[in-house]
Amino acid sequence: MRGLSLKFLILTVLGITAALFLCCLEPVNKGAFFEDDTVKEIIERNRPRVGLIDYTGDDLQAGDKVITGLNPDKFYMVEIRDEDGEPYPVPKIVYVMKDGNLAADMKEIGKVTGRTIRNLDNPLTYAVYSASPLTLTDPITLYIDFSAITPISLPLETDDNGLTLSSKYAEHFLDLSSVIETGTKIVNANDNKTEFIRIELAAAGTTTYFVFHDISDPESFRFLRVIIEPIPTFTINITSTDVPSAANAPGITHNAPTSGTFNQGAEPIVTFTAALPVSGTGSYTAYQWWFGGELQTSVVINTLIIDFSNIDYKRAGVYEVHVVATHNTDGPLNSARIIITVTEGGS
């Protein structure tokens, strides 16, 4: 363990001597002496500490081999300077890890859980920077994989420091070539791995932090929070209403359970079939299927297939299905009305 510096000892002794002189007419015991505000101020003022240049706006405090007051929700970079606060000819740039130690490799960067940078050298000065939010451009560009050439263009939806994407874009790649300079280092701070200009997005239901820095430019120290929404769950309920009284009115059967849940990306395909009721006679010669209040003009047979992953259908909503079947003797007859209620969330 290194001893106290000679300068500290001399200044402290002089300060304490002065304090003794001031209070010599009124003797005090040792404990009371060291609790005296003047003595404590002199000791604290001359305690060894690192030099600090604070570029963060966080009101950091320099201490003995430490810098305190860091924000646990931020990422920090440090430039090590000499005792006079002057930069070295080749900048010494390091990054603050989760445990408060410094690392030369940006892959080790993390949010500082203890709010303290530790294990510093007292004679040296440390210029501390915090990462600011990366500004994206509208629209953003995604690719289904790293080498894909066909882009997916989406409107930009961000808050103050992040990007939120639907679960359907999980594990896609976000292209940052329009906002990141060539040569900028990119790190996935969650997994401590290096990324490229197309950053790999994580799975649904995750939040990932990416950190960016061009070592030649402190202002390029940025971060981006990417939220991939969870896969939505929906509840489907199917009921019948307005059962027609006509003897030959068509009945409707379907292959779906009357109630159940499904996830986005695994939407049900429901088949509705028109058939004569048990007591009916004769046959049908034509069919008109209605879904959601719209005539399904492409369907002329006794079967209607609804795929809820089709972009024409909202996943959450209330849908009505019925068929008008033309009977060979009774003419057009309305079926019962089938009500499909889809709500977001599990049952």
Which pLDDT value is given to residue 66?
A: 96
**Do residues 224 and 179 make contact, with C-beta atoms less than 8 angstroms apart?**
no
Report the pLDDT value the prediction gives residue 15, as an integer from 0 to 100: 54
Q: Which residues share a beta bridge with 186?
A: 195, 212
pLDDT of 37: 60
Burial label for 248, CB within 10 Å (0-12, 13-18, 19+), is buried
The pTM of the full predicted model, rounded to 2 decimals, is 0.69
Q: Where are the beta strands (DSSP E) in 58-184?
A: 61-62, 67-68, 76-81, 87-96, 102-103, 116-117, 125-130, 132-133, 140-143, 152-154, 158-159, 162-165, 173-175
For the chain, residues with pLDDT lower than 50 are 1-4, 8-9, 11, 13, 25
Q: Which class for 67: exposed (0-12), middle (13-18), buried (19 or more C-beta within 10 A)?
A: buried
Report the first-to-last Cα separation within the chain, whole angstroms.
64
* The architecture CATH gives domain 233-344: Sandwich (2.60)
Contacting residues for 211 by C-beta, under 8 A, at least 6 apart: 75, 106, 109, 131, 186, 187, 189, 221, 222, 223
Residue 189 exposure: Cα atoms within 13 Å on the Cβ side: 26
What per-residue confidence (pLDDT) applies to 332? 92
